[in-house]
Structure 1
Amino acid sequence: MLKVPDYILPSPEQVVGLIGSKFSYFLAHTASTLTVIAVGFGCGAAAAIPTGLALAKMRWLESALYPFVVFLQTMPLISLVPVLIIWLGYGLAPASVLVGFSVFFPVLVNAVAGVRSTPDRLYFVTRTMGASALQTFRYIDWPTMLPYLTSAFRISLALATTTAVVSEFLASNDGLGYAALIGARSRDTVQVIAVVLITAVVGVLLNTLSLLVEKKIARKYRG
């Protein structure tokens, strides 16, 4: 039977054993990565939702801004790292900005789609009844947009996790990406694969959480 050297492909026992022996080390880096994901995701979504609402309501604004938004989305995020390091230094800030960029476009597109899926007759009824813009958003736009947003959040969480880890390779002194970089520099294959495993577990847990939230919201607005 072909014997693969441990320094190329360590056994599962070695990987799990390392995680257990350095649990506090990996836990601290995982917490740092989750912080980057939370801050970047929150900022990206918070910027995308009102922007999407504005683009959906004002066609002239969409014509003016949408090409610029697409340009930003198609620009490789990694190319922004040197500029962000100069502006913001290392750590949470540049990594969170990159995560925010990765989240912004999917949430924006789904916010626009959600608002535009609202039947025109509902807006006619609200105008007839004298509803304010805030009331229209609360009772018409937001419930219609929310199922679209939850789907976007699930997609964006996967992007946010990947972007957070990659950004930590280059622009951070902690986090799972940084732990993988330290392992690669010291040729510690076990640590690198341990980071990959932990990242996968984090991604699965975040996806499961987003699915539960999505199902709960779907039951609420369908029931």
Structure 2
Amino acid sequence: MKRLLPLSLGACLILFWEIGCRAWSVPTYILPPPSEVLVTAFSQYRTLAHHGSVTLLEILSGLALAIAIALPMASAMFLFPWVERALAPFLVASQAVPVFALAPVLVVWFGYGIESKVIMATVIIFFPLTVNLLEGFKSCDPRHVQLFRMMGYSKYGTLKKLFWPWALPYFFAGLKVAVSVATIGAVIGEWVGAQKGLGYLMIQSNARLRIDMVFAAILWLSAIGLVLWWLAGIMSRRYAPWKDRG
């Protein structure tokens, strides 16, 4: 039933889109019907897979770099309050600046290759990871903390044995958010300057009025985001199975 509702809603929207395009004879260079988008998505799968693999690599690289930054940063901010006071304004500022403003600068600094796209994805991804993990640390039950102190655990021992397991569900919640928005950074970077990738393909197709290819690229991007979100859910159930227990 949980899956039936979104599937039914999606089917209704697609049907309305298809009927509307046919009934009003909407030109395909303005809005192609979903049937044509699906045909393009499958018939041009070699091109889409080639560019999609580049975008996926950018997303996964940005995700790995964001995790490598978020884990020690959240731990340091939790263990040392002065670090949180010092870094919190910069964390907020990193998200307040529009990503379109950063993309051209990153392309100038790091070039048209994969590096600028990975950095852009990292900028967007690391914030929900850091904030969620920090909130997970802070949400730990004080009674458990007191118990660990009575047992003689050090600050770092308590972090490893208590705070980390406690915060894992929060981390995976942040990971789900991160993988959902990860495509934004990579694609915007490709829009500004790239030689391949789904964002690059979208810009080139739009210039040629191949709107069906634009929508096909969007479909592939959505599929990438959904698969990554699904994998994050699997990891959450595998490594934090206690989060759903009462």
Do the structures match in fold with TM over 0.5? Answer: yes
Q: How does 1:30-109 map to 2 (within 5 A)?
A: 30-109=52-131
Amino acid paired to 1:203: G
1:169/1:181 contact within 8 Å kept: yes
1:52/1:111 contact within 8 Å kept: yes
Q: How does 1:207-222 map to 2 (within 5 A)?
A: 207-220=229-242
**Residues 1-42 of structure 1, C-alpha deviation per residue, up to 9 Å, x if partnerless?**
421122222233332222233211111111111111101111
Give the C-alpha shift of residue 220 in structure 1.
Answer: 4.6
TM value normalised by structure 1 = 0.91
Q: How does 1:9-20 map to 2 (within 5 A)?
A: 9-20=31-42
Amino acid paired to 1:214: S
Query: For structure 2, which runs of at least 5 residues remain unmatched after alignment?
Result: 1-22
1:36/1:96 contact within 8 Å kept: yes
Equivalent of 1:185 in 189, 207, 213: 207
Q: 1:184 to 1:64 in 2, by over 3 A?
A: same
2:71/2:130 contact within 8 Å kept: yes
Q: 1:136 to 1:184 in 2, by over 3 A?
A: same
Partner SS for 2:49: helix
Partner SS for 1:8: coil
| 2:186 alignment partner in structure 1 | 164
Percentage of pairs with the same residue: 31
Matched residue count: 223
Give the C-alpha shift of residue 83 in structure 1.
Answer: 1.9
Distance 1:40 1:127 in 2: 37
Amino acid paired to 1:82: P
| 1:27 alignment partner in structure 2 | 49
Distance 1:156 1:182 in 2: 27
| 2:138 alignment partner in structure 1 | 116
**Residues 53-99 of structure 1, C-alpha deviation per residue, up to 9 Å, x if partnerless?**
11122122212221122122211122112221221101211111111
| 1:196 alignment partner in structure 2 | 218
The two structures, once aligned, show a CA RMSD in angstroms of 1.9
When structure 1 is superposed on structure 2, of 212-221 and 94-103 the one drifting more is 212-221
| 1:140 alignment partner in structure 2 | 162
When structure 1 is superposed on structure 2, of 164-173 and 181-190 the one drifting more is 164-173
Give the C-alpha shift of residue 133 in structure 1.
Answer: 4.6
Give the C-alpha shift of residue 127 in structure 1.
Answer: 3.8
Q: 1:51 to 1:133 in 2, by over 3 A?
A: same
TM value normalised by structure 2 = 0.83
When structure 1 is superposed on structure 2, of 123-132 and 171-180 the one drifting more is 123-132
Give the C-alpha shift of residue 222 in structure 1.
Answer: 6.2
When structure 1 is superposed on structure 2, of 108-117 and 68-77 the one drifting more is 68-77
Partner SS for 2:26: coil
| 2:29 alignment partner in structure 1 | 7
When structure 1 is superposed on structure 2, of 35-44 and 195-204 the one drifting more is 195-204
Partner SS for 1:60: helix
| 1:176 alignment partner in structure 2 | 198
Partner SS for 2:209: coil
